[in-house]
């Protein structure tokens, strides 16, 4: 499939690009101003017609995510806008993998040569943490998070985000609707969170442990999983 982009397009929507680095991988963050978004901004996207029925916020977030992805692809000397695949996930150029995440008025993208998943989340409040705990982690996982020398809302946000990054990176091998209890937190420190994959996530990867790097950026949490090229 041929990827194209309209290089001369100018946006009404105000954006700001920031380059971050996590575990030696460049992450491209786009902060958007929703109030300045105009539907004509979508004409920059080759697939803009597929978004004509989406809401204003969804359109702006999608555009910001694709802008972040374009910055990431340029590092690979590729001028492209990822399209939309059959499952709704971004469609990346052959030989590359990528991931896009949104949170509030921020979009984040990364590109790699092996399966990759990135996620950005706004730090959970105490009240939200109490509400979501049982749906994200088991009591055994909770004990690990409590003993991790991190505020519990931060640790729980990390668990949520890390599982999202896992799902994104290995979605092609995942069973339908695996759920948050299909991967188990087995360790957490100041640099990474380790997950063990359960058979309810993927028979192919059952029992495998993966380390997911994390960082904070302002009031948000970013997690990243990049599979080794060999898949080991």
- Cα maximum dimension of the chain: 53
Q: In angstroms, how far is the first alpha carbon of the chain from the final one? A: 29
The DSSP letter of residue 30 is E
Whole-number percent of the chain with pLDDT over 70 = 94
- Lowest-confidence pick of 49-53, 59-63, 171-175: 171-175
Cα-based distances in Å from 212 to 147, 155, 174, 224: 18, 13, 17, 6
Q: Which residue, among 72, 104, 65, has the nearest Cα to 219 in the 3D structure?
A: 104
Can you tell me the distance from the alpha carbon of 64 to that of 56, in angstroms, rounded to the nearest whole number? 12
pLDDT (average), residues 36-57: 94
pTM of the predicted model, to two decimals?
0.92
Residues 6+ apart with CB under 8 A from 77: none
pLDDT (average), residues 151-159: 98
Helix extents (H) in the chain: 56-74, 126-136, 139-146, 152-169
What is the reported pLDDT for 5?
Answer: 43
pLDDT (average), residues 8-15: 79
């Amino acid at each position: 499939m041929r990827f194209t982009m309209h290089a001369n397009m100018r946006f009404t929507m105000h954006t700001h690009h920031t380059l971050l680095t996590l575990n030696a991988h460049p992450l491209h963050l786009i902060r958007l101003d929703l109030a300045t978004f105009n539907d004509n901004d979508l004409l920059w996207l080759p697939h803009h017609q597929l978004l004509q029925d989406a809401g204003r916020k969804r359109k702006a977030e999608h555009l910001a995510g694709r802008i972040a992805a374009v910055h990431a692809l340029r590092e690979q000397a590729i001028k492209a806008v990822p399209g939309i695949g059959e499952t709704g996930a971004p469609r990346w150029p052959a030989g590359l993998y990528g991931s896009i995440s949104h949170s509030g008025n921020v979009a984040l993208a990364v590109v790699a040569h092996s399966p990759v998943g990135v996620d950005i989340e706004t730090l959970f409040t105490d009240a939200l943490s109490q509400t979501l705990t049982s749906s994200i982690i088991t009591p055994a996982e909770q004990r690990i998070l409590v003993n991790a020398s991190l505020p519990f809302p931060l640790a729980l946000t990390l668990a949520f985000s890390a599982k999202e990054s896992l799902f994104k990176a290995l979605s092609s091998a995942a069973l339908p609707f695996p759920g948050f209890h299909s991967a188990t937190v087995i360790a957490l420190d100041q640099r990474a969170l380790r997950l063990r994959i359960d058979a309810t996530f993927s028979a192919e990867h059952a029992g495998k442990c993966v380390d997911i790097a994390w960082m904070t950026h302002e009031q948000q949490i970013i997690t990243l999983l990049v599979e080794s090229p060999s898949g080991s």
